[in-house]
Structure 1
């Protein structure tokens, strides 16, 4: 397909696949440095997102233009990975946790993180999770604004949660449905689970 025919198409969102792991592992290293997930951990997470017992979901977003891949795919034109995100949903048995969300620097400001976040929040809703929790670096104000636009509110802080460099995490929550307290009360039961951004 020519570039003219591709122009104006929105980047595609799809399920993460094993063929994405090498590219994601490279991006992890570039984007998260010392806190990057290893390829092995990424593979384990992807495996947990597949099959009848899946308790998480991973998505990627890719460009509509093709980029040359290296290695086994050398010479083959494939869409370029622009971002990825993951959610632990436990089949709706407890709070969902946003595990990771990342976009390549050149693709930021195009609404891609927002699109992936909305997709994963929809997954949490469909599985019956009462809320979605996440952590974000205290200094990452742009990410906090993104989460706030999606209805997340700060509920706490985790001191020195991040190690490289050391920094506190702001814990944020999006309530999807109220939690009922003990019979005869109107208090909501609050669960504070944590994940990494």
Structure 2
């Protein structure tokens, strides 16, 4: 794969973010306004970020993070099907984790479909550990949610 650029998302990326999200069944399917709120999102208590991965101007992935107080969440991540297993997801997660750490978070949490073994392996490889489960949390198809947590040094 050609050189991947990971950078902060911009308002000009929203159409591509939405297109990739709509093409990714596992994605949460937010509104454009929700993604827009994550661009340069800062506040006194709640801060959000949107990072994108692109190759020569073509968006191939994105990730959204949130920090509230000293806790953080990796809210969403999507990588184009053709770009998967090339390190893009790992790079996006790493950038969000670093952003959360700089924003003062003590830990990062996430939820993942129990049937998504490759995503669970990715998160475990980054140091996340399972801390709980929500039965039948997801729909279309119905699936449990695995709660995972990464303590930040």
TM-score (norm 1): 0.71
- Which of 90, 95, 108 is the equivalent residue of 1:114? 90
Name the counterpart of 1:86: 64
Q: Which runs of 5+ in 2 are unaligned?
A: none
Alpha-carbon deviation of 1:163? 1.8
Runs of at least 4 residues of structure 1 off by over 6 A? none
| Equivalent residue number for residue 16 of structure 1 | 9
> Any conservation in 2 of the 1:86–1:99 contact (CA below 8 Å)?
yes
How far apart are the structure 2 equivalents of 1:17 and 1:61?
12
Q: SS state of the match for residue 38, structure 2?
A: helix
Structure 1 position 125 matched with structure 2 position 101: yes
Q: Kindly report the root-mean-square deviation, in angstroms, between the aligned alpha carbons of the 2 structures.
A: 1.9
| 1:75-101 alpha-carbon deviations (Å, 9 max, x no partner) | xxxx100100010012xx231000101
Kindly indicate whether residue 22 of structure 2 is the aligned counterpart of residue 29 of structure 1: yes
**Which residue of 2 is the match for residue 43 of structure 1?**
36
In structure 1, distance between residues paired with 2:55 and 2:117: 26
* Partner-residue secondary structure (3-state), 1:32: coil
Distance 1:34 1:89, change over 3 A: closer
What TM-score results when the alignment is normalised by the length of structure 2? 0.90
Check the 8 A contact 2:111/2:147 in 1, yes or no.
yes
Question: Which structure has greater strand proportion?
Answer: 2
Hey, what's the Cα distance between the residues in 2 that align with 1:96 and 1:16?
A: 19
1:134–1:51 CA distance, 2 compared to 1 (3 A): closer
Gaps of 5+ in 1: 1-7, 65-78, 178-197
